[in-house]
Amino acid sequence: MKIISYNLNGIRAATTKGFINWLEEESPDVICIQETKAQIDQMPTFELNTIGYDCYYFSAQKKGYSGVAILSKTKPDQVIYGMGIEKYDNEGRIIRADYGDLSIISVYHPSGTSGEHRQDFKMQWLSDFQNYIQELSKTRKELIICGDYNICHREIDIHDPKGNAKNSGFLPEEREWIDGFINSGYTDSFRHIYPQERHKYTWWSYRHNSRNNNKGWRIDYCMVSNNIKERIKSADILADIKHSDHCPVSLIIQ
């Protein structure tokens, strides 16, 4: 099974940049999307159906904001929208598709860059999200959790660790959360394949010619529950794909 996670920073904008043609050519079995920034009636559903994908969307109440989706070539057994906590579900942050014993999640973790209030919201979300996943794992033991985590884990995951040490997305408490999440039973699939690879990023600021200079952050992950990590065949960062300020990350699992 080939799975891709991709923060599109607006599915309508990405579509005008060739996203659907690329998707047809890349042909993953499942693609997890974050930041659709669209309501259901604004999605390119007809075009996605035409190239073989069933579409499942969970949009934010606020128009043009957040939103996640799962596009799948195989119809899931069931799709679960949200995590049952209103303040998060109103922002369209998580969607899950079940395929037999396997569950695939598309998640968009909050950013804390807009101020202290949103950073506090982010930290509370991280705590509640981990509790949600821990409870879910009691009944859904094979989990693949794909998405924009808005956190760089280690110094090798960011172009300037010293300069960003006090910035949201690389704060000590955020990095500690990633440590704790991984230690609770999950594998960062990219690091499983490339444990020490440097200069591999998934997001670049639109400012200062950051992408051309590869001054980026690795904040997008496909996390895999440890009980299926030996089924990981490959994982990659598709940095040359440019429909967004993020790039896709891929996972092939047996």
Rounded-to-integer distance, Cα 127 and Cα 144, Å? 19
Query: 216 - beta bridge partners?
Result: 204
Tokens 């909050």 belong to which residue? 110
Rounded-to-integer distance, Cα 248 and Cα 45, Å? 20
Verify whether residue 194 is a known catalytic residue: no
Rounded-to-integer distance, Cα 87 and Cα 10, Å? 22
Q: Give the Cβ contact number of residue 72 at 10 Å.
A: 22
**Catalytic residue, candidates 108, 149, 186, 201:** 108
Q: Report helix, strand or coil for 160.
A: coil
β-strands 203-204, 216-217: how paired? Answer: antiparallel
Rounded-to-integer distance, Cα 145 and Cα 68, Å? 13
What CA–CA distances, in Å, run from 238 to 36, 162, 201, 225? 19, 26, 9, 23
- Contact between 142 and 225 under an 8 Å Cβ cutoff? The reply is yes
- Contact between 97 and 30 under an 8 Å Cβ cutoff? The reply is yes
**Catalytic residue, candidates 53, 148, 188, 221:** 148
| 21 CA to centre of own chain | 21
Verify whether residue 81 is a known catalytic residue: no
Active site residues: 108, 148
